[in-house]
Structure 1
Amino acid sequence: MQVRQLSHRERDAILLATRESLLESLHGKLCRVLVLELHAARVEGRLSGQDSSARWAHFLALSSQRSFWDALSDQYPSLLSRVDSITRNRCGASLIFAQYLAIDRAKLATLCGGDPGELQAVSFGAGDTHRSGQAVALLKCQSGRLVYKPRSAAVDAALAQFIAEILDVFNGTSTIRVPRVWSHDNHSWAEFIDHRHALGNDELRAFYRGIGHWLAIMRLLGGSDLHAENLIAHGGSPVIVDCETLFTPMLPTVATGFGMAIDYASELVRSSVLSIGLLPGRGMGLGWRGVDSSAVGALPGEQPKLMQLGLFEAGTDRVRVDYTWVDAKVSQNHPSLEPDLSHYWPEVLESFDAMTETLSALDAKGTLQRLLRIFSDCPIRVVARSTEVYAEVARMLWHPVSLHREEVAIHHAYDLLEKMAANVPLAPIIRQ
């Protein structure tokens, strides 16, 4: 299907981005199967070539044929249907994006300083995939950059309005903001926020005062999941670029079995500003391995190394899959190359107290309740489990043994998620 309102260059850019997104996704899921099948072919003498590199090239040629994949159905019955589902979903999501771009283009001028002009490049997968392969897309157009989100941004617009109302009566200045958005019921477009380091101490102080303001506002609004990827430092402004996790419910803490003191301490932490995700804290759950993913944490040089699957001796028939240690990804949440929260902690505390005082005064006057009504019809999201939990389970389900004995693997995945639900209040109970 062609989207005729797009130019040939725009269609080519979307096709290229779709291809790259698919290759990245499928490589991560299929490389272990391919390595296993390569070694099986080598051991059984099905690869020709005088040396290891030649046999690798022969395997690449074999695995590029449809007959190779059809033959895998005996060992991995659901493999092709899974690949087909991923491919259809990703391609379908790209088509939906292209159609919305063609329809909405004239409405996007306010987000990039004028007519966006021709799409020059796009990348998919800037965030997690939802709803049949849809994901955030980053666009580069002739007149600037834009962000596409496959969800309503009504909550972003409401938060921007709420902040404007609060700052109008706030006894001080603040640099906090969210990107400008144009939102529909099931998709939206947002202003692209460039990462920029602060220009001097005045902007650094303004940034950390903004962190204090965000802490006070997000404590009121029940914000959560505001990790390093969801905040961008733009000079003296801490800009929250994804705020759909407001009004997170507070559920009773699950008893740990280590005594009431431990349980009470855990509940106190969960009911404090530490639950917002802005302040430093080490992740201890499945897949986190001590990583600090917070918006003002995630300090360069202070993150643990992460284990990541990689290919070793690629280009030979001795290739193997193994873990390698890699540095944690550097985000765009810091206002300087060497951020020092402790140095600016007085600004954070002072601004937190000042904003809290303003919110309390508005509440005493009955104004706050009126302001909060702007969120009443906004769709929000509750993060029941972190992305890494699903990633760990997915890695298990795409292992060759799991593909060979799918029913057993799926039962094991259900069992893991049920055990998590018994220990994590927000995690939903899974029924097979």
Structure 2
Amino acid sequence: MLADILTFQEREASGAGRDVDVDALCSTLHMLHKDDLAVTRYFGLGKSDLIHWFGKQSKRESKYSTLEEFERKIHLIGSLAKAGNNSSASRETFEGFYEALLGYFECVFKSDARYVEASNHFDAGSLLSSLRPYVLTSIKRLSEKSLVHCLNTRISEGVETDLESFEHYLNAGATGPILEAYPVLADLLIRHLEGTTAYLYKIIFHFADDADVLMQVFDLPDRRIDSIELGLGDPHADGETVCAVRVAGTSLVYKPRSNREAQLYSSLLMLLHRKTADECFSAKTPSMVSHDDHCWIEKVDNHACEKNAELALFYRRMGAQIALVHALNGIDFHYENIIACGSSPVLIDLECLLTASMIDLQGDLPNTGALFKTLKFNSQSVFSTGFVPYSPDSENDFSGLTAQKQFTTTARQLIREQGFFHLKRIKVDKTPLVKHLPIFEGAQYSLDNYQGEFLEGFGFAYDEVMKHQAAILELIHQHAALLKTRVLIKNTQRYIDFIELTLHPRFTQCMLQRQLLLATLWSEPNESLKKMWPAMS
């Protein structure tokens, strides 16, 4: 079964592998691909040739070299399961499986050759404790669907009768056999946990190298890390996320990128303040230490205004900042990316400050057509920034100006119907810690009573941006070589849904099945995007 981890390319190059389930692969091929377009781009074969290739696969004695190492890691994970823990009072469903993977993460971290040197810069007990929630959550996210499938398979075979007996099976050391039955899942988990470990060492040694500067800029009281809170943003580039690094009561935000966009934004505010001497451009920006591949940022808190008049100043500044962000074609400024610090709205994630519009890449759309004009108009609207409510009829307004305090989200709940289990999406209420609204005397204030100040700030700032556009463009030109931006080929939610689909058991048992799904990403018909495909692959 472990040979099912091999990709099409690995099988072709090495001749390694074993028989494949041709019927299952053909079923997936026909279900996902209506023509040859995407499979030809991904595999280099059309559908009929790919089906012929499936049929040619025969049992082979040869082994792919990496499978032995892969098998060793799975056996190690199995040995880390807490055998004999058959308590029915488990704190969480499938806990025995999750704990074995958590044990592997700790084993990889502590057995790393860099551990002894790195341990001079952190408290081991508190650090590992702080990492546990993120690691367990990510293990659950990757494996939950496959575990439910495994449970139902064993029920259908008469091996299990209920969830409790399956929990006993997991606690008795079944993690290894399950990973062997779902080798793609095993590979995803191992890569994720090893990648998280590598990222932790990167953070720790960056902290050690930067300690002198950090102590000077942020007045740190110590040189040892107490905790690291991972997962403060979406994972990018091998799963690296924004995180909070806590040192003796002081928290810093670490980002695995230079964050030059934030430096540019701060410089633009300073430029406009010098040109206008207006306080709407003197809003607070976080202190930062930036390097080519990472940065450290002051953790800004939701402080209250000292005077009632500061509420009006806050919304005037908010209007001004929206004007500047809109002029730069910034997007993604939802409420979680703004912190009200006294009279200053502080923007904390400027990764999408300068964003190329996908409509400009839609070369197959006639620029005189209604669709092109509509998309172009929407992309140039202030609504695209994310600051302004864009779904007035929605039960969730995530915009940067939202006054909503409670949101509706979904969660997966394990239920049993007709003898089998499945994960059902249920609606749950979520009351997040709202930090984007200004506070005065213990109360939060929305835009409702400050619309005049807000609109005046927006209009004034936009006029000043236009008035001083030559100086602004010159400043952007000076920073341009170091700036980065993102181009979203598809809507973000489509990526989220696609990643969820890749975790279906059909795609965690066989890599060829997974590749057939991945190949659908190459179905984009837009001719103007073809030049991007080599980079995407």
Question: Normalising by the residue count of structure 1, what TM-score does the alignment of the two structures yield?
Answer: 0.83
Q: Secondary structure at the match of 1:209?
A: helix
Q: Is the 1:245–1:383 Cα contact (8 Å) retained in structure 2?
A: no
Tell me how many residue pairs correspond in the alignment: 412
Q: Secondary structure at the match of 1:343?
A: helix
1:367 paired residue number = 471
Give the drift of 1:282. 2.6
1:321 paired residue number = 423
CA distance 1:329–1:267, shift in 2 (3 Å): farther
Give the drift of 1:92. 0.9
Is it true that 1:300 corresponds to 2:402 in the alignment? no
Give the drift of 1:250. 3.4
The 5-angstrom pairing of residues 78-89 of structure 1 reads 78-89=184-195
Q: What amino acid sits opposite 1:243 in the alignment?
A: L
Give a deviation string over 1:285-341, Cα, whole Å, max 9, x none: xxxx8743321127224x4x333223348xxx9764211112356342222566532
CA distance 1:311–1:256, shift in 2 (3 Å): farther
2:482 paired residue number = 378
Give a deviation string over 1:95-149, Cα, whole Å, max 9, x none: 1111111111121124433445432222111111122121111122215110111
Q: Distance in 2 between matches of 1:392 and 1:323?
A: 14
Give the drift of 1:405. 5.3
Q: Is the 2:143–2:503 Cα contact (8 Å) retained in structure 1?
A: yes
Q: Distance in 2 between matches of 1:156 and 1:418?
A: 35
Q: What amino acid sits opposite 1:309 in the alignment?
A: R
The 5-angstrom pairing of residues 129-168 of structure 1 reads 129-168=235-274
Q: Distance in 2 between matches of 1:261 and 1:107?
A: 55
Specify which of 491, 498, 501 is matched with residue 396 of structure 1: 501
Q: 5+ unaligned residues in a row in structure 2: which ranges?
A: 1-113
Q: Is the deviation greater in 76-85 or in 203-212?
A: 76-85
Specify which of 246, 255, 270 is matched with residue 379 of structure 2: 270
Give a deviation string over 1:400-421, Cα, whole Å, max 9, x none: 12324553454345436745x7
Specify which of 140, 143, 162 is matched with residue 27 of structure 1: 140
The 5-angstrom pairing of residues 61-100 of structure 1 reads 61-62=171-172, 64-70=174-180, 72=181, 76-100=182-206
The 5-angstrom pairing of residues 335-374 of structure 1 reads 335-336=438-439, 339-363=445-469, 366-374=470-478
Structure (1 or 2) with the greater helix fraction:
2
Q: What amino acid sits opposite 2:316 in the alignment?
A: R
The 5-angstrom pairing of residues 76-225 of structure 1 reads 76-174=182-280, 175-198=282-305, 201-225=308-332
Q: Distance in 1 between matches of 2:392 and 2:494?
A: 12
Q: What amino acid sits opposite 1:394 in the alignment?
A: I
CA distance 1:88–1:329, shift in 2 (3 Å): farther
CA distance 1:396–1:298, shift in 2 (3 Å): farther
CA distance 1:410–1:195, shift in 2 (3 Å): farther
Q: Is the 1:176–1:210 Cα contact (8 Å) retained in structure 2?
A: yes
Q: What amino acid sits opposite 1:246 in the alignment?
A: L
Q: Is the deviation greater in 346-355 or in 378-387?
A: 378-387
Q: Secondary structure at the match of 1:78?
A: helix
Q: What amino acid sits opposite 2:412 in the alignment?
A: L
2:391 paired residue number = 282
Give a deviation string over 1:216-261, Cα, whole Å, max 9, x none: 211232222222222112122110111122322235375999x955
Q: Secondary structure at the match of 1:138?
A: strand
Q: Distance in 1 between matches of 2:532 and 2:230?
A: 29
Q: Is the 1:283–1:293 Cα contact (8 Å) retained in structure 2?
A: no
Q: Distance in 1 between matches of 2:403 and 2:139?
A: 29
Give the drift of 1:88. 1.4
Q: What amino acid sits opposite 1:380 in the alignment?
A: K
Q: Distance in 1 between matches of 2:179 and 2:464?
A: 64
Q: Is the deviation greater in 334-343 or in 17-26?
A: 334-343
Q: Is the 2:403–2:446 Cα contact (8 Å) retained in structure 1?
A: no
Q: Distance in 2 between matches of 1:424 and 1:226?
A: 28
Q: Distance in 2 between matches of 1:282 and 1:379?
A: 31
Aligned CA RMSD, in angstroms, stands at: 3.4
Q: Is the deviation greater in 248-257 or in 198-207?
A: 248-257
1:16 paired residue number = 129
Q: Distance in 2 between matches of 1:369 and 1:268?
A: 23
Give the drift of 1:5. 5.3
Q: Secondary structure at the match of 1:4?
A: helix
Give a deviation string over 1:381-408, Cα, whole Å, max 9, x none: 2141454332211110111123245534
1:311 paired residue number = 414
Give the drift of 1:171. 4.1
Question: Normalising by the residue count of structure 2, what TM-score does the alignment of the two structures yield?
Answer: 0.68
Q: Is the 2:300–2:339 Cα contact (8 Å) retained in structure 1?
A: yes
Q: Secondary structure at the match of 2:279?
A: coil
The 5-angstrom pairing of residues 420-431 of structure 1 reads none
Specify which of 337, 344, 355 is matched with residue 230 of structure 1: 337
Q: Distance in 1 between matches of 2:264 and 2:497?
A: 35
Q: Distance in 1 between matches of 2:496 and 2:143?
A: 14
Q: What amino acid sits opposite 1:123 in the alignment?
A: E
Q: 5+ unaligned residues in a row in structure 1: which ranges?
A: none
Structure label with greater radius of gyration = 2
Q: Is the 1:209–1:348 Cα contact (8 Å) retained in structure 2?
A: yes
Q: Distance in 2 between matches of 1:398 and 1:63?
A: 23
Specify which of 433, 437, 447 is matched with residue 334 of structure 1: 437
Q: Is the 1:196–1:235 Cα contact (8 Å) retained in structure 2?
A: yes
Q: What amino acid sits opposite 1:240 in the alignment?
A: L
Q: Is the 2:412–2:425 Cα contact (8 Å) retained in structure 1?
A: yes
Q: Distance in 2 between matches of 1:335 and 1:111?
A: 27
1:59 paired residue number = 169
Q: Distance in 2 between matches of 1:334 and 1:324?
A: 29
2:22 paired residue number = none
Is it true that 1:44 corresponds to 2:144 in the alignment? no
